[in-house]
Structures are given as C-alpha cells and as structure tokens.
Chain A
C-alpha cells in the first residue's frame, strides 16, 4: 500500500459525459501528479500540483482540468468524454517539490467510455 488513495477504482460512462477522479496523497506529501496510462502509450504526464498551486503541465487536453485543494487532495475533471479517453488514470504523490524524488502511485482509476 503506497498510501495514495484514488477513487473511484472503476468508472464506466458514455461519450459526452463528465467525470471527476479523486486522489488523496500520502500523509505529509505536498506534491500531486496525474498520469494517463493507455494501451501502448505508457505513462503520459498530465499535470502536477504543489501545495495547491499548479507547477508543471504536460500534454493535458483542454477538456481536462485539475486542482489541488487546501487539504491537499486533488481532483481531475474530464469533460466531453471521447472513446479515446478510456484509460487508467494514476495519481502519484511525493514528499516535496523535487526534480529527483520518488513518486508514490495510487492504484489508479480505470475509466471506460462507451
């Protein structure tokens, strides 16, 4: 158990819908990262927050948004869903703002868009 909690574990929805994925980082971790894992695409970095502020942005679509709340949990909002958004979405956390630190991943939220 990494200490990172993600909900829901599984989510099935239809095209055009909107979903919210939630992540609680390890106790004491201030940095939260979101990654998308699709078949054959490895782990794609989406966005990173540190202590409530956005710190790095990857190839995150405009239909996706995220935020980190004062209690340090984070939410990833996916809207106008398309079939291609079906993937495993991982949240990870780390202790501090570091360019060389270990990431602790949650178990992921598997999104299926029908």
Chain B
C-alpha cells in the first residue's frame, strides 16, 4: 500500500518568513495530493491540493509543488502569519479508483510573532 513520509515533524519560523514542508510517497500510481490544516482542537480542513498532471499550484500565500519522478511534493507558505500556526498533513491516494487517502504524520508549524 501507499506510504507517505512527512518532514519535518515540527517547524518554527519568524512571522513573515517562509515555511516549507516536504512529503514523499511510495506508490507511483498516486495521482492526487491534498494538504490539510488542523488547528489545535479543530477538524482537519483542506487548504490546497494538486493532481499528478500539474507540477505546481498556487493560492495566495500557499503553493504546492509536485515532482512525480522523485515522488515528492512540498507545501510552501510565504509571509507567514501567527494564524498559520497549526498542524499540516500531506496525503496521497493510491491512483485512479482508489478512495483511500494515506496521510503523513503531520508537521506542527509555529509562527513566532
């Protein structure tokens, strides 16, 4: 089955700096890579996703890049703000027709004012 590794497990940045979280996946058939944000005590919420036919996607201060050859994808947050502090999870499916998302173990991002 799919295996998703996520690094780092914790990340502290100064407000205004950029944050990068990296994930690798094992199943070459995976074609969907979402990122979820979970604030303390809250439910995970989708913040951005990318499909395998695209190399990069941006949404305001958030961007995701995908390297299918190397089987890794990354989340980039620019101009970080205190409200970006949360746990971020990457995930991957197991290809077309797979309804199971495999999540990474999460990255706790702390933005220091």
Which residues of chain A have a CB within 8 Å of any CB of chain B?
Answer: 2, 31, 33, 35, 40-45, 48, 50, 55-56, 58, 90, 97-100, 102-103, 105-108
Contacts and interface: CB of A to CB of B under 8 A. Distances in A.
B32 A100 contact: yes
A103 B43 contact: no
Contact of A99 (B91, B98, B103): B98
Interface of B: 6, 31-32, 34, 36, 42-46, 49, 51, 89, 91, 93, 95-106
Contacts of B49: 100, 102
Contacts, number: 62
A40 B105 contact: yes
B95 A99 contact: yes
Contact of A45 (B97, B101, B104): B101
Contacts of A105: 43-45
Output the residue of A2, A55, A100 with the most chain B CB within 10 A.
Answer: A100
25 contacts: A2-B43, A35-B103, A40-B105, A42-B6, A42-B89, A42-B104, A42-B106, A43-B44, A45-B101, A45-B103, A50-B99, A56-B98, A58-B100, A90-B44, A99-B32, A99-B95, A99-B96, A99-B99, A100-B32, A102-B34, A102-B46, A103-B36, A103-B44, A105-B44, A106-B43
